[in-house]
Amino acid sequence: MSKKSSVNKAEDLGSYVWRGGKRIELEKEDDRFTIIPTDQRQLESANAIPGVRKIVPVTNQVYKVETTTTERDSAMAALRSDTHKTITHHSYRPKNSKGTIYYITDKIIARFKPNTTSTQMEELLKQYGLNIIKQYKTHQDKKTYLLKVTSTSNENPVKVANHIMKEKIVEFAEPNMVNRFEHAFVPPDTLFPRQWHLNSETGPQLFRKSICYGNKSMGHDSW
């Protein structure tokens, strides 16, 4: 098994992700990031950090923090400090693209190769500070797991996923991210609001800003 130190140091493991077998180059968002508070107290204290403009839930665990380009780094540093000890991650978008934003969770989906032994898997999980949340049962009985990044991982889920992607016993490893699609364009048609199949603001079972997993999107969010 390879060691973290053996990875080419010139490569920035936080600059890309693997999604469906495709490598996607990333750019960090300048005016937002995410936190995963452990309790209500941490969430409330985050509101008092200089540079934090607004906190919005993305999931029941992950929160988007709105800030400014000049205050992002200092706000993130304050939240990560010993005073607050809040799990804090950058938000990303695919490089040279607009409309799609990736919010990081603390989980990774990984599949191990069929001949991987329990001992090999346990060693890898220990090396990277990962816990098994669940195993996905498939008709092919493949060794696919939802893993959780812990404080002993010492790196964010994007980097940890890219580390273990390089391991010989791993078939694939992808950070479990929330994809949020933002409006690109809304037609200036007075009848547009009535077209529920296009207008995700009023359509049944659709949402203005949809939280999506994978590559699914809705209505004009995908235009």
- 124 vs 191, more confident: 124
The Cα 144–Cα 132 span in angstroms is 10
pLDDT at 148: 95
- Backbone CA torsion sign across 125, 130, 133, 135: negative
The Cα 182–Cα 185 span in angstroms is 9
Residue 191, C-beta contacts closer than 8 angstroms, at least 6 positions apart: none
The Cα 46–Cα 88 span in angstroms is 11
The percent of residues in the chain predicted with pLDDT above 90, rounded, is 64
Q: What are the backbone dihedrals phi and psi of residue 119, each rounded to the nearest 5 degrees, phi first?
A: -65, -45
Q: Do the domains 25-103 and 104-177 sit in the same CATH topology, yes or no?
A: yes
Question: According to CATH, what is the number of the domain 25-103?
Answer: 3.30.70
The percent of residues in the chain predicted with pLDDT above 70, rounded, is 74
How many helical (H) and strand (E) elements, i.e. helices and strands, does the chain have?
A: 4, 10
Q: Smallest Cα–Cα separation from 186: which of 142, 222, 162?
A: 222
The Cα 39–Cα 41 span in angstroms is 5
- 122 vs 216, more confident: 122
- Is domain 104-177 classified as CATH 3.30.70.80? yes
Write out the two tokens for 199.
Answer: 């207008």
Label residue 162 by pLDDT band (50, 70, 90). Answer: very high
Q: Per-residue b/e over 45-73, b at no fewer than 16 CB within 10 Å? A: ebeebebbeebeebeeebbbbebeeebbe
User: Do the Cβ atoms of 142 and 111 come closer than 8 Å?
Assistant: yes
Indicate yes or no: pTM above 0.85: no
What is the mean pLDDT of the segment spanning 7-26?
81
Spell out the domain ranges in the chain. 25-103, 104-177, 189-223
Write out the two tokens for 93.
Answer: 């978008």
Other CB atoms within a 10 A radius of the CB of residue 184 amount to: 12
**pLDDT, tens digit (0-9, with 9 covering 90-100), for 164-223:** 999 999 999 999 999 865 544 445 555 544 444 444 443 333 333 333 333 333 334 333
User: Do the Cβ atoms of 184 and 200 come closer than 8 Å?
Assistant: no
